[in-house]
Chain A
Amino acid sequence: MIKIPQLSKSYGEFKVLNIQNFAITKGLYWIQGVNGAGKSTFLKVISGLISFDGDSLIDDISIKKSPIAYRKKITYCEAEPEFPDFLTQKDLLHFVAKARGAEQKQINYLQTVLGTKAYENQPVGSYSSGMLKKTGLLLAFLGKPSIILLDEPFTAIDYQSVDNLIGLVKEYQATYNSTFLVTSHIDTGHYHLPFDKVYKIEDKKILEVE
């Protein structure tokens, strides 16, 4: 599924990640780490958003050799999503749905599950942090992504939405066989997510937690 033969990422002269021979198959994974460990950087790097040294492959498609084919297979929701104040959720959905090949039926369904339909015509500038987060999640679930990266997905949203999100994760695993990488620095045990494995980013490396 995801294979990383070698990956290193530095900000200026400060090295954040140095990963060797990391591979995961289809499933649901939790990535732990303290603040500043490099969880978000790891997701940004493997989603193809920011540059790094080395390579990452999804189903043998290299991000360096075929960046577009690679990016079509993966989606990413940031910990604190941001969008231009003047656009509405509908604008964002339309733009991203076209890129992801998502149909209106799927958009409606996701809006209902995440409870975002009510404010789809409001400009993003008027959103609360929870509404922004749900909009970010909504965009990440569009189409039929093989891999969905969720950075701190449970922060800022209400309990009902957390339950709905967990249901959506399970549904995508069953329907689209999607793989999830979820980062969190807090214990997600009470969310009842059946993680296949738990990893921890520590000292620039990614290690399996027993």
Chain B
Amino acid sequence: MTYEFLVASSIGVLVAGGIYLALRARTFQVVLGLTLISYAVNLFLFASGRLVLNRPPIWDKSVADYTDPLPQALVLTAIVITFGMTAFVVIVALRSFLETGSDHVDGDAVPTDGAEETGE
């Protein structure tokens, strides 16, 4: 039971942090938030095949119980896609900052010297 509790609560904390950061105004925080959300989603997908300890995913003569191999394949696909997309959003955010002089997600011009507190 503790194992399930640990996985479930870590997914919950990651999602909560991710949503908070994704709602912030600046692109860097939003990217971090999206990364946290994607970690949580990957953990969640991994757990969707039920949590099984010390069991192989591949057929073996000497083993009777297995862990579900499909979620692991799905997670691999999801990791590759979200990793690529995170890299892409970083580049787009950077280009947007360099071209518009603003690192706000809504693209409004704001002073970017850090003189004032942001995200209020």
A binds B: no
